[in-house]
Amino acid sequence: PVDGEWMSFPENPGQRTLLYIHGGSFVLGRSAVHNALVANISSEAAADAFVLDYRLAPEDPFPAGIEDVKTAYRWLLARGTDPSQVAIVADSAGGSLALAALVSLRDEGAPLPAATALLSPWVDMTLSGDSVLTNLETDPIVSSLEAMNVVVRLYLQGCSAEEPLASPLFADLSGLPPTLIHVGAPEVLRDDGTRLAQNLRDAGCKAWCDVYPRMPHGWHALGTRIPETKRSLTEIGEFLKEMMPDRLPAGH
Catalytic residue numbers read: 92, 187, 217
Q: Measuring CA to CA, how many Å separate 62 from each of 6, 94, 170, 209, 229?
A: 25, 12, 16, 27, 31
CB count within 10 Å of CB 110 equals 16
CB count within 10 Å of CB 98 equals 30
Q: Measuring CA to CA, how many Å separate 142 from each of 55, 84, 92, 135?
A: 22, 35, 11, 9
| Rounded distance between C-alpha atoms, residue 77 and residue 72, angstroms | 9
3-class state of residue 70 by DSSP: helix
